[in-house]
Amino acid sequence: MYKYKYSVIIPVYNGFDMVDGIIRIFSEQTVPRNDFELIFIDDGSTDGTLKKLQEYADGDLIKVFTQPNAGPASARNRGILNASGAIIMFTDIDCTPLPDWIEEMSKPFKNPEIYGVKGVYRTKQKSLIAKLAQLEYEFKYSYMQKQKYIDFIDTYSAAYRADIFRNEVLFDKDFRYASGEDIALSYYLSERGYKMVFTTKAVVYHIHPDTVKKYLSRKFKTAFWRILLYRKFPDRILRDTHTPQYLKIQIIFMLLFIICGVISLINPTFCLLPVVFALLYMLSVLPFTSFCTRKRSLYLISAPVFVFLRTIAFILGLIFGYIYFSLLHRNQFQTYYYPKKDKLLILYKYFYPEIGGIEYYLKLLCDYMSGYFDIVVLVSGKKFRTTIEIINGVHVIRTGRIVETLSTPFAPGYFYYLNRIISKVILINLANPFSVIAYLLIQPKGKLIAMYHMDIIRQKNIFQMYKPILLYFLKNYPVKIIASSDKYVNSSRILKRFKDKVTVIPYTIEIERVRPEKVVPASLGFKYIVFIGRLIYYKGIEYLIDAMDSVNSEYHLVIVGTGKLQSRLKLRAESGKGKDRIHFTGQTSEEKKYEYLKGSELLVLPSSFKTEAFGIVLLEAMVFSKPLVTTELGTGTSYVNKDNVTGFVVPPRNSAALAEAINGILEDEGLKDEFGRNALKRFNDEFSPDKFKERYLKLFKDI
């Protein structure tokens, strides 16, 4: 797939005097010269740099591209788009990598989980300012070494897997100068769950500012552009893996000292406050001063002065940056990254690998849509801390949960991320009221599609409080509402009111996961019918147990699954006539579940309440060509199972009707085979993954 192991990208602007040196340096690398390509991007130089570079260009190992001056972000993007290496490395024309730089930068990538690597600066300069600037870097390096993974990579010594740039964004061109575009990329990748590490063994030498004026000018520009960086990534104001907290506290204490000093001149009552903040500021300087004096005692005086000047320059840069980016040009710059594909944001309570029908459905939707959208799933986690990970290319943000009540988690971070993520389409599952309330409060941009899973049946009193909010939401916000069947639309107290917005998209299952042709049927020594599912109130299992008293005695019932009612149901089974023919498997693996299903004569889903909105297990049985017996609830169960075509549909909570339907199939081999064939055909025609994908793509296209 890749021509080279490594691509080294170097943007150049007016670097004529440094071209010969950088070419020589990379000819001395310890890795074989044929393993890497050098890519130079001349960013509109005016000093003859391009002509000098073209003298070395061979179109293969050394490539040169040119563009009008647009800044290093744009130049690096040009290099990325023309790179042929599996690992893409970056450095600058004014840097001098050591001969083993490529080798050391590449070592962390032996771990397939690592996607980014940061190296270090060194300098040979003798001036006091340059030495203190180097110590400032080393002080931050000592902090970074304590981190397992980092979120801060500068492109003076950086490397990423090329796959990142194939699937993700490039450098942010809002940063028109060397001003934070590299940090923005690493922040972004860290938020998306990519793991990046720091190595002190990959060294580049650099010429730091060597006068006070040059140094303070650099710090002012850094702080100025930090405002744009923090507008894009506000959570990094508080913490990143590069900057120790007391360096940020220094700025706060200095600002408070200045503000309180001015106030105390007007009102002497506050004269002690500037003294307090001055003392706090001096205490915050001690860690860096101590670090420097361990290198050389001379720095005991110069280090605090150096920090003081740096803090003043940084404060001024932040003030001017805030005025420019947040006041004068607030709408000129994008606040967030925009990926190459349209973004689909999915909002719900939990997500895979959490177990549940909706969780499984959403994962399946992500799997099928990830080729068409950049998908972000925003859910609650089960822990206090927010985590971000990538699952099969889908970015999953699990916000820290404080508490869960009435099956609804409360996760404050949900609001923060919902406010930050810009997407073209938002898909919200209404089974989580917290998501609905968060949406109403934040009202993020993007066309909204609501997924209506089912009416709330059991918690009627609570629903009466939530109902006005839900009705207001459905009336005013979604452009479309997805329901799983026409049957449910017509019987739902809520959906009836919004028929003009409803689109029916039935559920599907992952055929690759089921693979019926590979399943070996369970051999139990008797013929049996099967129930598969959780042993909970709305499944109606008690009516199926009672029905076994009248079912043909040649056949047994195997109940696959576990749940709150297991003990009660076992007692009920033991009290009936068919007690010796009823078997509980308890919790089983998915593989074992399919073995029970394949070995059965038919599947029964005797659900007793509308909480059973669809019945995914019916689709699994259809794939195995099994006849179905279900109940008429006015939901998707009797849409999936067509009466007298794929099985029988009987009244709910009616054991006699269940027994009659079961016997009708078991005692007519021809009918059983016909129902089985029809079930498989109906699945392929109506519920296949291809049909599911086709319906969703049409919906997204229509809106």
Residues 427 and 536 in one domain: no
Residues 162 and 38 in one domain: yes
Among the three residues 206, 233, 266, which one is the final residue of a domain in this structure?
Answer: 206
For the record, the structure tokens of 203 come out as 């060294």
How many structural domains are present in the chain?
4
Which tens digit of pLDDT belongs to each residue from 536-572? 999 999 999 999 999 999 999 999 999 889 999 999 9
Residue 338: pLDDT band with limits 50, 70, 90? very low
Task: Output 50 or 407, whichever has higher pLDDT.
Answer: 50
Closest C-alpha among 584, 579, 593, 664 to residue 627: 664
For the record, the structure tokens of 143 come out as 């902090």
pLDDT at 629 > cutoff 50: yes
Instruction: Tell me if 510 is assigned to some domain.
Output: no
Instruction: Tell me if 694 is assigned to some domain.
Output: no
Closest C-alpha among 454, 402, 397 to residue 616: 454
Q: What is the residue-averaged pLDDT of the chain?
A: 90
Poorest-pLDDT segment among 464-478, 614-628, 637-651: 464-478
Residue 202: pLDDT band with limits 50, 70, 90? very high
DSSP code per residue over 472-526:
HHHHHS-SEEEES-HHHHHH-TTGGGGGGGEEE------HHHH-GGGPPPP--SS
Among the three residues 176, 206, 236, which one is the final residue of a domain in this structure?
Answer: 206
Residues 431 and 499 in one domain: yes
Longest dimension (CA), the chain: 100
Q: What is the mean pLDDT of residues 17-40?
A: 95
Instruction: Tell me if 365 is assigned to some domain.
Output: yes
Q: How far apart are CA 173 and CA 77, in angstroms?
A: 9
Poorest-pLDDT segment among 147-151, 427-431, 483-487, 512-516: 512-516
Q: How far apart are CA 363 and CA 681, in angstroms?
A: 25
Q: Quick one: what percent of the chain has pLDDT higher than 70?
A: 96
Closest C-alpha among 576, 560, 575, 562 to residue 528: 560
- Residue 623 sits in a domain whose CATH number is 3.40.50.2000
pLDDT of residue 333: 62
Instruction: Tell me if 290 is assigned to some domain.
Output: yes
Residues 407 and 522 in one domain: no
Residues 588 and 448 in one domain: no
Residues 190 and 329 in one domain: no
- Residue 199 sits in a domain whose CATH number is 3.90.550.10
According to the per-residue pLDDT averaged within each range, which of 26-30, 266-270, 423-427, 575-579 is highest?
26-30
Residue 331: pLDDT band with limits 50, 70, 90? low
Instruction: Tell me if 534 is assigned to some domain.
Output: yes
Q: How far apart are CA 361 and CA 505, in angstroms?
A: 12
Instruction: Tell me if 296 is assigned to some domain.
Output: yes
DSSP tag of 173: T
Task: Output 408 or 288, whichever has higher pLDDT.
Answer: 288
pLDDT of residue 341: 61
Full residue range of the structural domain in which residue 294 is found: 211-340
Instruction: Tell me if 509 is assigned to some domain.
Output: no
The contacts of residue 206 (CB under 8 Å, 6+ apart) are 92, 94, 95, 96, 121, 122, 123, 156
pLDDT of residue 8: 97
pLDDT of residue 667: 95
Residues 525 and 652 in one domain: yes
Poorest-pLDDT segment among 23-32, 104-113, 130-139, 404-413: 404-413
Task: Output 292 or 462, whichever has higher pLDDT.
Answer: 292
Closest C-alpha among 674, 679, 649 to residue 661: 649
Residues 360 and 458 in one domain: yes
Is the peptide bond prior to 339 cis by the omega test (within 30 degrees of 0)? no
Task: Output 702 or 222, whichever has higher pLDDT.
Answer: 222
> Mutual orientation of helices 413-420 and 433-442 as an angle, nearest 10°?
50
Task: Output 177 or 302, whichever has higher pLDDT.
Answer: 302
pLDDT at 357 > cutoff 80: no
Closest C-alpha among 500, 507, 572 to residue 543: 572
Q: Quick one: what percent of the chain has pLDDT higher than 90?
A: 62
Residues 333 and 349 in one domain: no
Residues 183 and 236 in one domain: no
Residues 278 and 316 in one domain: yes
The contacts of residue 11 (CB under 8 Å, 6+ apart) are 40, 41, 43, 72, 75, 76, 79, 92, 93
pLDDT of residue 453: 81
Which tens digit of pLDDT belongs to each residue from 484-537? 888 888 888 888 899 999 999 999 998 877 888 889 999 999 999 999 998 999
* Ranges assigned E (strand) in 519-646: 527-532, 555-560, 582-586, 603-605, 628-631
Instruction: Tell me if 702 is assigned to some domain.
Output: no
| Amino acid, res. 602 | L
Residues 551 and 674 in one domain: yes
